[in-house]
Structure formats: C-alpha cells, structure tokens
C-alpha cells in the first residue's frame, strides 16, 4: 500500500533531525556542563521578552529556547556528566519523540491506537522475557519510576487486602506495613502518603556493609510487626540503589517473600537494564520471582525523559487495581487486548514506548547490551583511576556508580569548585549513617576513558 507520506518524507525527517542532533551533541560536549544562573536572572529574562501579547515567529522562539537551554541547564547528555541516572539519548529515541508529538496517538483505549498500543506491548514483552517473566505477565509504560513504584504499592495492597479498593484502608482489621532498606528510593515515602497508608507504614530495614538489605533484619521486623498486630504485605528490593548502586539480595528476598506470603516489588529503575547484558544479568538473579518490577527506559536505556515501565506477574490484580468503566470511552476491546486506561494510573496516555522501540530496533539487542557494558567498563576505569589518585572508594556496586571520599574532604566545597571549573558534574550522598561522600555515576554512552582520566586528573588540583 502506497502512502502520501512515504519513504522520502521519512528520510527528510531523519536527515533534518540527524543534522540538528549532531550539532547539539557537539555543542554540548564542547561547552560547559554546569550553568551559573539565579532564578531571578531567568525570570527577568522571560518577563522582559514574553508577555504573549504579540506573536513572535517560531524561528525566533526556537532559537531563543535553544539558547536558554544551552546556557541554563546542567547538561545531562554531556560526556562529563556523572549524575543521577539521567542519560545521553540516542538519535532514534529523539526522532521517536518527534513522531509521537506529530501523530499524537491516544493510547488510553486500544481501539483508538492499535499500532501504538501493540508496539508498546511488543517492546514490553521483549523486556519482560529478559526479566524471566511469563508471557501472560502484564506490563505498561509509565511516566517514570515513581509512578511504577506507586503502581507496585497499589497492586500489592489490592492483592493483600481485597476490601481495600472499595472500602479503603479504614476497613482493614490491621494496619498494613511494608519493608524497604534505608537506601531505597524516596518515591515509596510518597506512595505511602498518596495511598493513605501513611509514611509510618514504611519499615526501614538495616543494610550490610555493601548497603544491601539485611534479610535477617527484615525477617525480624516482619515477625515483630505481626506479633504487634500489624499486617505486613510488601517488601521492596532495589536493583541499583540511587545512592550507591547496591543490588539487594533479590533471590533471598524472593524466598523470604514466598515463605511469608508477601508481595515482592523490585525497584530496578536504573539497574534493570542489566537484564539485557549477558555479562551483567546474573547480578539480577531473583528478579524473575518478583511480583512486580519497576524499570525506567529513561535511565539506562538512554531515551528522553518520561519513560518508566511497570511489570507485574499478576494481570488479574492489575486489572482489579485500575479498573474503570465509563460510557464515554470507546467500548471494551474485543479479544485479548486490554485498554490501558484500565490497567494503569494514567488515563490519557502518550506514546511513551516508541522511543524505546525505535532505539532498540535500530541498535538491536546486542548494540544495546554493548552500550550498557561500555558504561560498566567506564565505571571500572573511574573506580581504578580514583583509587590511583588517592581517593577512598566506599561502595562496591557491580554497576558504574562510584562513591568516594578522602581525608579532610568537604564534599560541598569540593563540588562547588568542580562545577565552577566545569570539570564535571558529580553529586554528594550520605550512605547509611555515614558522612556525606562524593558520588559519580557513568550515565552517558559517550563517556570515554579519556574523559575519565582527564576529570580525575583535574580533580587532583582541587583536593585539600
Ligand atoms: C532506584 C530509583 N527508583 C525510582 C526512581 C524514580 O524514578 P523517576 O525519577 O523516573 O520517577 C529513581 C530516580 O532516580 C531511582 O533512582
């Protein structure tokens, strides 16, 4: 079938974006990593130029916005950005976001967007299999990891307490509690707040010296809470903690949860991508037994923001947790496909999954695995280079995240100097009850060994 929009138009789109993308990429790589600007400066710039009374040509606004973005942001796609899991992005994923915006498919109902819905399903099915999930597992793209984690809490509650959905927490005989380590992501504190569990429902389990959850402490806390009349229902294991990149003992957690009839949610927002690497996937052993999983495409899968994923083994529980019936939505889908507005927190849904689909199709599974393994190797180079330069490494992650310090270091002052000199972007973190240390994560597939050696060498110039 021949279309008015054919291959020549696709080529044009590709060529135009490829050229701009290459220009932006080189502009960023050769420019500063960190902006120096105050809120007042940005606000007064905007106020003085944009009162929206008179139209401005699109060319002019685009040029102005590009200039603002260039000057006034931490460049997370810079090869010397060693930050908070925000990736460099592939050309394919940028084109995908443009296509998504142009066609603006509405994914809430299957009938409205059969192509988009099935592309997402196909992509998620591929990753679900990598996690060792069965073909009938349920998966959905989310706005990010926080939404996916919230979905994990909601589904776990729905299964443990069938009356929760209709009659609320107040109808329960015992107060529900859930368990995570002190290194778990703080989106769970918000989830506890939003679901009505209350933040005190969170139980912080001790960690070992590698910042991994201590299963004996977990067992002790669950037993104690049960004895006190509380109702434990969920354990959260993290695969790649935000602070230290630690991977909780997932297989042990899975055994424990099976024995104790608790839901296991694995937050693999960043580390989940390791599942596609033959060299790294063994670090996630046990994830296949999780009841639900969070994994973000907009972290280690290197696609633009707004792409989380939620996987759940129990399609029936997801359907119950997010059920909705209205007269105004298109009628129920025929056949096996579910309408996404009935299987997730979202209603109207953007075509989030296209960026992962397009990038995966272009690079292939092995290309993607190579991107991930390259960054892991760069993490090792960084770890070794820091040690050689006299830094003390304080974490042991197999993933490319290094936490480090040295005698007499004032992390805040060090980072201020690092950023002021545009050497790199790094951050500080407090692990366990320790003092703040420096944290550097390789998040860009563009970071080279030379970038790392240069950064570590320049860092030596600002140490106490
Ligand atoms: C381990 C972990 N889980 C969840 C999240 C939240 O993900 P998002 O920012 O995509 O909502 C993060 C964010 O960095 C994270 O590190």
One-character DSSP codes across 333-399: PSTTPPPGGGSSS-SS---TTHHHHHHHHHHHHHHHHHHHHHHHHHHHHHHHHHHHTTPEE----SS
Dihedral sign from CA coordinates of 377, 381, 386, 388: positive
Closest residue (by CA) to atom 5 of ligand 1?
Answer: 145
Q: How far apart are CA 64 and CA 68, in angstroms?
A: 6
271 lines ligand 1 (CB under 6 A): no
- Give the pLDDT of the chain (464 residues) as one tens digit per residue: 556 667 778 888 888 899 999 999 999 999 999 999 999 999 999 999 999 999 999 999 999 999 999 999 999 999 999 999 999 999 999 999 999 999 999 999 998 999 999 999 999 999 999 999 999 999 999 999 999 999 999 999 999 999 999 999 999 999 999 999 999 999 999 999 999 999 999 999 999 999 999 999 999 999 999 999 999 999 999 999 999 999 999 999 999 999 999 999 999 999 999 999 999 999 999 999 999 999 999 999 999 999 999 999 999 999 999 999 888 887 666 666 788 999 999 999 999 999 999 999 999 999 999 999 999 999 999 999 999 999 999 999 999 999 999 999 999 999 999 999 999 999 999 999 999 999 999 999 999 999 999 999 999 999 87
Residue 204 CA, distance from chain mean position = 22
Q: List the structure tokens of 29.
A: 């790589």
To test the ligand 1 pocket, which listed residue (84, 270, 284, 346) has its Cβ within 8 A of the most ligand atoms?
A: 270
Instruction: List the beta bridge partners of residue 439.
Output: 403, 427
Distances (CA, A) of 148 to 72, 184, 236, 377: 30, 14, 12, 29
> What is the structure's pLDDT at 328?
80
Instruction: List the beta bridge partners of residue 310.
Output: 140, 294
3-state DSSP percent of the chain in helix, strand and coil, to 5: 45, 15, 40
Q: How far apart are CA 389 and CA 346, in angstroms?
A: 48
Question: Relative to the CA of 146, which ligand 1 atom is closest?
Answer: 11
> What is the structure's pLDDT at 327?
81
Q: Is beta strand 427-430 parallel, antiparallel or unpaired with respect to 436-441?
A: antiparallel
> What is the structure's pLDDT at 3?
61
Among 153, 163, 230, residue whose Cα is nearest residue 188? 153
Q: Is beta strand 436-441 parallel, antiparallel or unpaired with respect to 401-405?
A: antiparallel
Using a 10 angstrom Cβ sphere, with 0-12 exposed, 13-18 middle and 19 or more buried, the burial of residue 36 is: exposed
Distances (CA, A) of 75 to 38, 206, 300, 309, 418: 17, 35, 16, 24, 15
Q: How far apart are CA 120 and CA 356, in angstroms?
A: 9
Q: How far apart are CA 137 and CA 117, in angstroms?
A: 16
120 lines ligand 1 (CB under 6 A): no
85 lines ligand 1 (CB under 6 A): yes
395 lines ligand 1 (CB under 6 A): no
The 401-405 sheet, strands edge to edge: 392-393, 401-405, 436-441, 427-430
Burial track 368-385 (b if 16+ CB lie within 10 A, e otherwise): bbebbbbbbebbebbbeb
Distances (CA, A) of 420 to 76, 80, 414, 417, 425: 16, 14, 10, 5, 10
Among 440, 295, 457, residue whose Cα is nearest residue 378? 440
In the chain, what's the furthest Cα-to-Cα distance? 70
343 Cβ neighbours under 8 A, 6+ residues apart: 138, 140, 318, 319, 322
Dihedral sign from CA coordinates of 287, 292, 296, 299: negative
Length of the chain: 464
296 lines ligand 1 (CB under 6 A): yes
Give residue for tokens 């994830």: 287
243 lines ligand 1 (CB under 6 A): no
Cβ atoms of 240 and 270 closer than 8 Å: yes
Distance 145 CA to ligand 1 centre (A): 5
């Amino acid at each position: 079938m021949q279309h008015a929009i054919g291959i020549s138009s696709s080529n044009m789109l590709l060529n135009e974006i490829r050229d701009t993308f290459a220009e932006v990429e080189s502009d960023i790589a050769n420019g500063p990593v960190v902006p120096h600007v105050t809120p007042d400066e940005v606000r007064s710039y905007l106020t003085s130029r944009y009162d929206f009374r008179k139209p401005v040509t699109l060319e002019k606004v685009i040029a102005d916005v590009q200039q603002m973005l260039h000057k006034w942001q931490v460049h997370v796609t810079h090869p010397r950005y060693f930050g908070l899991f925000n990736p460099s992005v592939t050309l394919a994923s940028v084109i995908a976001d443009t296509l998504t915006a142009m066609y603006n498919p509405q994914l809430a109902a299957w009938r409205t967007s059969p192509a988009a819905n099935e592309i997402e399903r196909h992509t998620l099915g591929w990753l679900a299999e990598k996690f060792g999930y069965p073909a009938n597992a349920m998966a959905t793209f989310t706005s990010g990891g926080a939404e996916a984690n919230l979905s994990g809490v909601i589904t776990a509650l729905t299964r443990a307490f069938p009356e929760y959905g209709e009659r609320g927490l107040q109808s329960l005989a015992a107060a529900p509690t859930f368990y995570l380590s002190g290194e778990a992501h703080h989106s769970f504190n918000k989830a506890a707040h939003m679901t009505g569990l209350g933040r005190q429902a969170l139980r912080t389990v001790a960690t070992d010296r590698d910042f991994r959850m201590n299963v004996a402490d977990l067992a002790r806390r669950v037993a104690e809470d049960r004895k006190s009349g509380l109702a434990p229902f969920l354990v959260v294991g993290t695969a790649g903690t935000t602070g230290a990149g630690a991977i909780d003992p997932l297989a042990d957690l899975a055994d424990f949860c099976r024995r104790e009839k608790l839901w296991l949610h694995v937050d693999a927002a960043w580390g989940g991508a390791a599942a596609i690497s033959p060299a790294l996937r063994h670090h996630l052993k046990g994830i296949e037994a999780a009841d639900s999983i969070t994994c973000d495409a907009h972290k280690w899968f290197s696609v633009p923001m707004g792409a989380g994923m939620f996987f759940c083994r129990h399609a029936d529980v997801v359907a119950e947790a997010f059920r909705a019936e209205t007269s105004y939505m298109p009628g129920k889908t025929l056949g096996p496909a579910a309408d996404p507005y009935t299987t997730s927190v979202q209603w109207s849904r953007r075509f989030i999954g296209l960026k992962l689909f397009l990038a995966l199709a272009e690079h292939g599974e092995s290309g993607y695995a190579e991107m991930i393994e390259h960054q892991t190797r760069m993490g090792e180079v960084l770890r070794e280079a820091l040690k050689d330069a006299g830094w003390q490494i304080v974490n042991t992650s197999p993933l490319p995240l290094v936490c480090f310090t040295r005698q007499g270091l004032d992390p805040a002052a060090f980072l201020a100097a690092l950023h002021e000199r545009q050497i790199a972007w790094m951050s500080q973190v407090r692990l366990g009850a320790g003092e703040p240390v420096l944290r550097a994560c390789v998040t860009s597939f563009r970071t080279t060994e030379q970038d790392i050696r240069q950064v570590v060498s320049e860092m030596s110039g600002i140490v106490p």
